[in-house]
Amino acid sequence: MTSICNKESVNCIIQPCHSGNLSFNLKAIVTSSICSAQPSLSSIIQSYDYLKCLQFHPEHHSPSEEVDILLGAELVHQLFTGGRVCGGQDDPVAVYSVFGWIVMGKSKLLPSMSLSTSILTIDDSLHLSMQRFWELESTTEIKMMSIEEAKCETHYKNNYRRDINGRFIVSLPFRTKEPILGNSYDIALKRFKLLEKRLLRDDILHKKYVEFMRDHLHSLT
């Protein structure tokens, strides 16, 4: 078996010892313990006569009781090839697979102890899907506009247009139909002269100001 491991999972390639053409690719979760210690295959074979006549692979007689990997149900139809030898109702079953004979099921040699192993995984895609679902199902809060905001909205709909360059143009709204400017001519003239003096001191700013005003006046025609 070869593998590429990271902090959470490992990509494995499993291959039977007697076959160079057959292999299985799978992704396994890395955990410090899979299950409790299991009795060795040799001790199981010696305890059940109907298993002694089967030819198990020599490496299966390892005295190790630790479980290195737990294969999922998605590989069952590829692993088992059909042969089966059964004992009693509470006895283990020998099943022929691509790895040779394997033993599965209950055994009187299993220790009478209770051990639970829990594995928790978080699927980000499921979390995002649920988040989108609740966003779609949630009601949208309707914001009520004030009288002035409603007037601005109406003014925009009735006065906007687009020029030949695709830009949106809309006239400025006033609070009253005919704005009351008062005696503002002298003040406006004074401010204009101050602006003119400032522009005369800066040729670049003056040029940009002229271009902007020309463009603005052109958009009003």
Q: Can you give the pLDDT at residue 168?
A: 84
3-state secondary structure 175-199: CCCCCCCCCCHHHHHHHHHHHHHHH
Round to whole Å and give the CA distance between 206 and 44: 98
| Residues in Cβ contact with 145 at an 8 Å cutoff, skipping those fewer than 6 apart | 153
Two structure tokens written together for 85 = 């030898």
Domain boundaries, the chain: 2-104, 147-220
Round to whole Å and give the CA distance between 32 and 5: 14
Q: Can you give the pLDDT at residue 191?
A: 92
For 212, which DSSP code? Answer: H
Whose structure tokens read 């909205």?
153
Encode the chain (221 residues) as per-residue pLDDT tens digits: 555 555 578 888 888 877 767 888 888 888 877 777 777 777 777 888 888 888 776 655 555 567 778 887 788 778 888 788 888 787 888 888 888 888 887 777 765 555 565 666 666 666 677 777 777 766 666 778 888 888 888 888 888 888 888 888 888 777 666 667 778 888 889 999 999 999 999 999 999 999 988 887 877 66
